[in-house]
Amino acid sequence: MSPGPLVVIGDSLLDIDLDGTSERQCPDAPVPVLDLQSSRLRPGGAGLAALLAARHGSPVQLITGLGQDEAADDLLGLLDGVEVLAQPLHGSTVTKTRIRLGTLPLLRVDTGTGTAGAGRLTTAATRAVERAGALLICDYGRGLARLPQLRQLLVDRSEAIPLIWDPHPRGARPVRGATVVTPNLAEAERAAPDAADDHTRGLDLCRIWSAQAAAVTQGEHGAVLTRIDRPASRHVTVPAELRQAARHSPDTCGAGDRFAAAVAEALRHDSSLEGAVEQAVDQAAGFVVAGGASAHSMLRRERHLATTTSSRDVDVATLIDRTRRAGGRIVATGGCFDLLHRGHVTLLDRARELGDLLVVCLNSDASVRRAKGPGRPVVAERDRARVLASLASVDAVVVFDDDTPAELLEQLRPDIWVKGRDYVDRDLPEADAVTRHGGRVVLLPLLDGYSTTRLVASSQPAPV
């Protein structure tokens, strides 16, 4: 029997990165003038931890305060794949805006007054905690972790399932009985200032916070795990190749969230604590090497519904050019998409998560007939294109008449070409057109039980 979902509890923030270039100074002050190139959004705090766990394959529920403003709408829209169980938030959504010159941070602007309400947990949130396979508390000092009802519920559940607490200097004291607390070194030194070394610091943290273990993260040096039942500390180091790469990756934002989420995921699957921390160190280092939290951001975008019949249509070309100049990733996928069903929609949603612009290459009616026979398509290309373009995940649709989209992809030059996992043992004639221009092919899992061919067959009358 599989364990219950990972339930992440804590304060979610909206992070915004404003990236640009500068070639001049302001005439009335000795400061650079930033020419804005892109505005990217991502969830922060508990929201980021939940998103990272969900993208790693875990079923995730997030209990978090959610407001009634535009920033909250943006935040909710970013948490794809996460079941959000919202608690009332008093005040505005906390937003952290980083202004960067290339990859160099110039300034961070924090706004928002939101704090969790003092009332009781919703029924849905209470039920989620009671059915969880593991609990991860990401406390960013916004009040949710202080709710008395929640704290008692966490104490009760900690006797049966793993409870991981990622603390914050302005946050609540971890509840007694946590399986492991995961502060970074600065937070650990603040909580246990008199410790002489890593060993005594870990023991002090376990006693101060009534925890079974403490895993103190130390950046490129890994983490130090101390268990109260096994006093000898264990230092888990980052693999040398990842350590070297991490030194050249300036953005470590979110590494602590990735570490805590990885520990929770591993313990949910009955890993030992030592094994969980070792996996988490490796995954956090890999997360930094891959670009940190910035790699999980999305361009702030306007909605474009560009249904076209020509790959040379200026609207599609403009969308691609604009996205590329802003540093965004172009994703493309293709197919007949005849009788659009849930499997199609799931594949398109997952494809869109891989980048900032999704272009669907749609087989024309003639192309479908050559591939599927005279009875197909059931739906004409114009209608198929219009339905696809109305989906939230789709930015543009391009109809092509060839047997393969290879020629079209030579023009689009996507960063990622997506097909279903059913192509794993089949040749993709268009793959060369993708990789020739620096792109890569990604095969995504399909939703079992959904097939247009099966739908068409089931709609035919039974033979007499």
The answer to whether residue 257 is catalytic is: yes
Angle at alpha carbon of residue 125, lines to 266 and 170, rounded to 5°: 70
Three-state SS for 461? coil
- Assess whether pLDDT exceeds 50 at residue 12: yes
- Segment 352-374, tens digit of pLDDT: 988 889 999 999 999 999 988 88
* Fold match between domain 6-24+32-295 and domain 303-459: no
Q: Spell out the residues 6+ positions from residue 160 whose beta carbon is closer than 8 angstroms to its own.
A: none
**DSSP classification of residue 2:** P
Catalytic: which of 11, 19, 166, 257?
Answer: 257
- Topology at the third CATH level for domain 303-459: Rossmann fold (3.40.50)
- Which top CATH class is 6-24+32-295? alpha beta
Identify the helix (H) or strand (E) that includes residue 6: strand 6-10
**DSSP strand E in 240-282: where?**
none
Burial bucket for residue 65 (CB in 10 Å: 0-12, 13-18, 19+): buried
Cβ-count burial 97-124 (b if 16+ within 10 Å, e if not): ebbbeeeeeeeeeeebebbbeeeebeee
Closest among 84, 83, 262 to 162, alpha carbons compared: 262
Question: Which tops the pLDDT comparison, 97 or 427?
Answer: 97
Backbone angles phi, psi at 163, to 5 degrees: -125, 115
- Segment 68-103, tens digit of pLDDT: 888 988 898 888 889 999 998 999 999 999 998 877
Please, are residues 55 and 94 in contact by the beta-carbon 8 Å criterion? no
What is the C-alpha to C-alpha distance for residues 379 and 359, in angstroms, rounded to an integer?
20
What is the C-alpha to C-alpha distance for residues 354 and 419, in angstroms, rounded to an integer?
13
Residue 264: the pLDDT is 97
Within a 10 A sphere around the Cβ of 35, how many other Cβ atoms? 11
- Segment 264-279, tens digit of pLDDT: 999 999 999 999 999 9
Please, are residues 39 and 18 in contact by the beta-carbon 8 Å criterion? yes
What is the C-alpha to C-alpha distance for residues 299 and 329, in angstroms, rounded to an integer?
9
What is the C-alpha to C-alpha distance for residues 11 and 43, in angstroms, rounded to an integer?
11
- Assess whether pLDDT exceeds 90 at residue 225: yes
pTM higher than the cut 0.75: no
Backbone angles phi, psi at 5, to 5 degrees: -70, 165
- CA separation, residue 50 to residues 117, 136, 158, 272 (Å): 21, 9, 19, 22
Every domain of the chain and the residues it spans: 6-24+32-295, 303-459
